[in-house]
Amino acid sequence: MEESNKDNNNRKQRQTFAKPFLVGSINAIEVTQAREMSRLHTIGRLPARGSKLDVKHNTSSSSTTADTSSTSSTTSTRSITSTGSSSIVSTSTDFTSTSTTPTPTVSVPAKSHQGACTNPQCNCCGQVIIPSPQAVFPIKEEPSISVNDWSIFSVKRPILNSVEIDTLNDTRFEFPLPEMIFGHSLMRIIHEPSGLHIEFNAVDALDSLESDSNLKVSYHEEWLEARKKKKEVKKDLDVLKSYDWTYSPNYKGSTSLAFIPTNDKQIPIDRLLQPDPILFFDECVLYEDELGDNGIGILSTKIRVMPTCLLLLCRFFLRIDGVIFRIRDVRIFIDLETNQVLREYKLQEMAYSEVVKLVTGKTDPKKLFRDSNWVANNILVILVTTEIATV
């Protein structure tokens, strides 16, 4: 009888803890899940074993560092110097490595970073965790890192408000802009000694649009007429100029580098597949539009930095339901040791009806059609070009 009562009490206790409860109108279970996601995100940024890195932390105004050295192949020492209310940490991590590659010099934040360093660190080994799993108001994330002579900056800000969009329409664009424009977000890579750079941002990408689009949806006339009336009411214009309503950019980045075509060089996939530690990873959306509920057009960037190289992907993904799939990729590969830069531009397109035929079995096609990676691996390649620059 006592065991039965214990089982009943345990069952009631489990049921009690299983019920969500509110604390200040916030679901506590959701808070716990968010913390767990943050923990997993942090773990995912830990460096891989088998690396040998020298990470220095500095501020924009001055850099206070203390040299540390590892006393064994599996441990690292840390030195912390307090300046006022903030701490500046210099970490040197030394793991056993069979590679003959020279040790890269890593600085966090980047050498020309402005403002305080807010990138968190691993409590165990001191390595940098990027991006920071946090939310602040106003939302503004600006992680950065330098590896050898190269600095990488990522800026993520909220979408443009109505006033900012009106300013763009008054000063730069004469067509309706995408529904969501992250006009203050960007990815920038700078070669510090020369100042040469390459950057990806939404406004410059919109400047590269064609003057018209030959793609039509079944009721495109009615839709364009509706957008014309909206524009006339807002701007008091009689005519809405033609524009590429799919927002497909012809954009390879805003750069001061001198690229020349090459047939001899390609992005070395084998180097990207090596299990090197990821020093920096980030991604952000530049603009997005649902095309009047006819699909989606989205321009996004993603970057990962390893000790010897980095890869940046700027991808435009277009899906017009019942019409077409389109992908336009720009990949930037930089050898951080030789300072050689490769830029690959790839165009892919395929009719919607042909892509539907590729879906077999019980797979949900709508789920696949929202996955740009699946689409990129399955639709036809129209054009691939490669360019090279050396600084």
pLDDT (tens digit per residue) in 284-322 = 999 999 988 889 999 999 999 999 999 999 999 999 998
CA-closest candidate to residue 382, choices 331, 344, 348: 348
What separation in angstroms does the CA of 320 have from each of 225, 248, 266, 294? Answer: 19, 12, 31, 6
Model pLDDT for residues 206-222, shown as the tens digit of each residue: 999 988 777 766 555 66
| Mean pLDDT (whole number) for 241-270 | 92
∠ CA 112-63-129 to the nearest 5 degrees? 70
Residue of higher predicted confidence among 345 and 122: 345
Neighbours of 66 (CB within 10 A): 14
Q: What mean pLDDT is reported for the chain? A: 75
Model pLDDT for residues 4-63, shown as the tens digit of each residue: 565 566 555 544 444 444 444 455 655 666 666 666 655 554 444 444 455 565 544 333
Structure tokens at 38: 């943050």
What separation in angstroms does the CA of 343 have from each of 21, 84, 107, 260, 389? Answer: 52, 44, 25, 10, 8
SS3 357: coil
Whether residue 66 is predicted with pLDDT greater than 80 in this model: the reply is: no
- Residue that has been written with the tokens 């767990």 in this structure: 36
Neighbours of 385 (CB within 10 A): 13
Q: How far is CA 83 from the centre of its chain?
A: 33
Residue of higher predicted confidence among 335 and 105: 335
Residue 172 CA to residue 165 CA, distance in Å, equals 10
Report DSSP state, residue 255.
Answer: E
Residue 132 CA to residue 118 CA, distance in Å, equals 8
Residue 379 CA to residue 327 CA, distance in Å, equals 9
Q: Are 94 and 85 in contact (CB under 8 A)?
A: no
Model pLDDT for residues 340-385, shown as the tens digit of each residue: 999 999 999 999 999 999 987 767 888 899 999 999 999 999 999 9
CA-closest candidate to residue 246, choices 295, 187, 199, 286: 295
Q: For the chain, where are the E strands, in sequence order?
A: 22-23, 26-27, 52-57, 78-83, 86-94, 105-108, 144-147, 150-155, 180-181, 186-191, 197-201, 254-255, 260-261, 280-289, 295-305, 309-320, 324-335, 340-351, 381-390
Structure tokens at 388: 């090279």
SS3 206: helix
Residue 59 CA to residue 106 CA, distance in Å, equals 14
∠ CA 133-134-138 to the nearest 5 degrees? 145
Alpha helices in the chain (DSSP H): 2-18, 28-44, 162-171, 202-206, 220-235, 269-272, 352-356, 365-369, 372-376
